[in-house]
Amino acid sequence: MADIEQLARDARADLEAATTVADLEAAKIKHLGKSGPLVLLLRNIKDLPPEQRGPVGKGGNIARKELEAFAADKGAQLADAELDVRLRREVVDVSLPPRAMPQGTLHVLTQTRRLLEDIFLGMGYQVIDAPEVESEWYGFTALNTPVGHPARNPSDTFYIEGRDQGAGANDDALILRTQTSTAQLRTMQKSTPPLYVVHPGRVYRRDDIDATHSDMFHQMEALAIHEGLTLADLKGTIEQFLATLFGGRLEVRLRTHFFPFTEPSVEADVQCFSCRGTGDPLPGDEDSERCRVCRGEGWIEIMGAGMVDPNVLGMVEGYDPDKVTGFAFGIGIDRVAMLRHDFPDLRLLFQNDLRFVRQFPGRP
Ligand SMILES: [Zn+2]
């Protein structure tokens, strides 16, 4: 009997000492759980001398019931108290003004890409996608770029695998594409003429010598293939595109150039949209003697272009160079953003400095 009294006192002391619901649960398990000493005593009552079984059983059960009732009461009190504390801590003051949620915007590059896409969609072009990691075949061979061309050198182009220094072409080697023109052959293989597509995307070159260059930048390639397309169609398309981009018709001039995959190839200049070709500074700009955008030239280099080389057309079934002709041009998306928003350093586009990014609050 002394045993039961001692066990009950110990249990009661632990239950009383509990200050949280969790502490109380632990004390309950310790003293009143399946392995609690009081429970074990009652379970093993048959091992006691017969004359003790009655009193121990009775006393033990009373003690257990009292302790359980005490624990239930105390548990309810502790739970109430803890709820009170939580309610006081988590109270919401509905009279406070809400904290403003920061609102994101589209990056100026995304805004520019979408603008360019919109212009071409309006002219009936489709926007297509193509891989950035490309085989040497799509990257160079299919674009009529001969083995030994400087662009195929690992000092100019990032090779991912398959290129032995000094070896010849390996059409299966993998590169990071150096221009979005790599989409040309892929698109032609998937569809038949007439074809009017634009492809915006990232391109990579080992080239970060100054503020106007970066190892990675963005281009948009336009490709049109149809019966009877001529250089005049190319010029008309460029004029229409630039008029929409810069707001108002501007002169376009074509200068002869060379690209391996177009023949003839041209560089297109557009009349400066700021000074409208005069080269003069904007009215009121007393700090400059000449137009800041074109540096007084009156013209801005805007893109490389040309008629798709018949050799390129001939590489794909269904494109007979005697029946269809095409034109292609590539424009720097970053450069268009710099021109439209007048900032000098291409790298600003990639540094994600919020002071810069927030100056172009495009809608999300
Ligand atoms: Zn100008």
Kindly report the CATH number assigned to the domain that includes residue 274.
3.30.930.10
Tell me: do 76 and 213 sit in the same domain. Answer: no
Is 0.85 surpassed by the pTM of this model?
no
Q: What spacing in Å lies between the alpha carbon of 277 and ligand 1's midpoint?
A: 6
pLDDT for the residue 212: 63
Confidence band, pLDDT 50/70/90 cuts, at residue 48: confident
- Spacing, Cα 254 to ligand 1 middle (Å): 18
- Residues 288-300: what's their mean pLDDT? 90
Interval between CA 47 and ligand 1 midpoint (Å)? 108
pLDDT of residue 41 exceeding 90, the answer is: no
pLDDT in tens, 81-116: 999 998 888 888 888 888 888 888 899 999 999 999
Ligand 1 centre distance from Cα of residue 290 (Å)? 8
Q: How many residues does the chain have?
A: 364
Whole-number Å distance, alpha carbon 334 to ligand 1 midpoint, is 19
Indicate the DSSP class of residue 99.
P
| Distance of alpha carbon 246 from alpha carbon 24, whole angstroms | 75
DSSP string, 297-343: SSEEEEEEEEEEPHHHHTTSTT--TTT-EEEEEEEEHHHHHHHHHT-
What are the residues whose beta carbons fall under 8 Å from the beta carbon of 154, sequence distance 6 or more?
163, 165
Whether 78 and 193 share a structural domain: no
Report CA(338)–ligand 1 centroid distance (Å): 14
Q: pLDDT digits over 212-248, tens only? A: 678 899 999 999 999 999 999 999 999 999 999 988 8
162 within domain boundaries? no
Mean predicted confidence (pLDDT) in 138-145: 88
Query: How many angstroms separate the alpha carbon of residue 245 from the centre of ligand 1?
Result: 16
Q: Which two tokens stand for residue 239?
A: 């004029």
Residue 173 Cα distances to 114, 139, 157, 164, angstroms: 32, 10, 12, 9
95 DSSP 8-state letter = T
Tell me how many domains the chain contains: 2
CA of 117 to the centre of ligand 1 (A): 26
Q: pLDDT band for position 70 (50/70/90)?
A: very high
**Residue ranges making up the domain that contains 347:** 108-132+177-357
- pLDDT-derived band at 145, boundaries 50, 70, 90: confident
Cα 301 to ligand 1 centre (Å): 12
Same-domain pairing of 334 and 237:
yes
Same domain for 19 and 128, yes or no, is no
Supply the mean pLDDT for the chain: 89
Q: Each residue of 303-325: pLDDT tens digit? A: 999 999 999 999 899 999 999 99
Residues 232 and 323 in one domain: yes
In-domain check, residue 100? no
d(CA 1, ligand 1 centre) in Å: 107
For residues 66 and 205, membership in a common domain is answered with: no
Whether residue 362 is predicted with pLDDT greater than 60 in this model: the reply is yes
Examine the domain organization and report whether 64 and 203 are in the same domain: no
- Do 233 and 315 lie in one domain? The reply is yes
- CA 333/CA 132 separation, integer angstroms: 16
Both 266 and 311 in a single domain?
Answer: yes
According to the model, what pLDDT value does residue 255 have?
96
Is 197 part of any domain?
yes
Q: Which residues contact 116 (CB under 8 A, 6 or more apart)?
A: 198, 200, 220, 245, 331, 333, 336
- 287 vs 323 pLDDT, higher one: 323
**pLDDT above 70 for 270:** yes
Which residues contact residue 75 at a Cβ distance below 8 angstroms, ignoring those fewer than 6 apart?
A: 21, 24, 25
Confidence of residue 165 (pLDDT cuts 50, 70, 90): low
Residues 257 and 292 placed together within one structural domain of the fold: yes
- The rounded percent of the chain whose pLDDT value lies above 70 is 96
Q: What one-character DSSP code corresponds to residue 45? A: G
Q: Same structural domain for residues 12 and 117?
A: no
Residues 123 and 222 in one domain: yes
Residue 341 lies inside a defined structural domain of this protein: yes
Q: Name, of 61-75, 122-136, 170-184, 204-218, the range with top average pLDDT.
A: 122-136
Rounded Cα distance, 238 and 241, in Å: 5
